[in-house]
Amino acid sequence: MNDMSLFAVSILEHSFGNNLYLLAWADKLIELKTICHCGRKANMVLRLDGEGKPISEGEQVAIGGNERYGSVCRKHFRTLIWE
């Protein structure tokens, strides 16, 4: 493995933890496709407060359904969280 491969594995391990190894053993991976409110592919997830506004602080993991999370594209994620 080269340095870039090790970097990629490190990022994946940080993101997926031990689940990374489950992905390696999977016979089939299914992507659940979601759409942002603008119509683009949603590849980011926002955690929402009780009023439906995005939050970026607090617990790392919060249990909830559609009322707690929203799927958005990268453009809207950056707009809502970073700006």
* Spatial distance between the Cα atoms of 67 and 50, rounded to a whole number of angstroms: 8
pLDDT band of residue 54 (cuts 50, 70, 90) is confident
Tokens of 35: 């759409």
Over residues 1-28, the mean pLDDT reads: 60
- Residue 43: what are its φ and ψ, rounded to 5°? -120, 10
Length of the chain: 83
Average pLDDT, the chain: 76
* Spatial distance between the Cα atoms of 49 and 54, rounded to a whole number of angstroms: 6
Q: How far is CA 69 from the centre of its chain?
A: 11
